[in-house]
Homo-oligomer: A and B are copies of this chain.
Amino acid sequence: MAIQDLYPERYAYCFGCGSRNTHGHHIRTEWDGDETVSTFTPEAWHIAVPGFVYGGVIASLVDCHSTGTAAAAMLRSAEDSGTVVPGQEMPFRFVTASLQVQYLKPTPLGVALTIRGRVREWKGRKVVVESTVYAEGVATARGEVVAVQMPENFGVES
């Protein structure tokens, strides 16, 4: 199960990772040991120049995979300490305070991409996550996201 499957319904419409956004990328972040992993195969129209993936899509992968990793890490910790019961609705949702991406190489279009994330720093409501995008085993982009836990009422329409 991906961390995004646990987001409450009202937060399940994100263009990057919302399972209910019919136009979106549906990024799905899962644990793999101490890292998180997701895979994404860009569509033909996610092109930059012929043969290569658009950098804004790569930035989106880094963004949602990283905020998902921050939520997953906080959930795992809360479950370990017993403050959250496994299986209950996801109580943590993060927003992006800053996003940084280095494009190491052109990312080829037409293959599945793997994104791997790791928590680098964690202080209160702020979690810093590093995510790397791989194409056929080669790191093509590396990003860092400063993710901040959202206020409870953020995005709730009054």
Chain A interfacial positions (CB closer than 8 Å to B): 10-11, 13-16, 18, 21-25, 43, 45-52, 54-57, 59-60, 63-64, 93, 95-103, 106, 150, 154-157
Which residues on the B side are within 8 Å of A93 (C-beta)?
A: 49
Q: Are A49 and B154 in contact (CB under 8 A)?
A: yes
Main secondary structure on chain A at its contact with chain B? Answer: loop
Which residues on the B side are within 8 Å of A57 (C-beta)?
A: 15, 56, 60
Smallest CB separation, A56 vs chain B (Å)? 3
Which residues on the B side are within 8 Å of A156 (C-beta)?
A: 50
Nearest CB in chain B to that of A18: its residue: B47
Smallest CB separation, A107 vs chain B (Å)? 11
CA distance A95 to B49 in the complex (A): 9
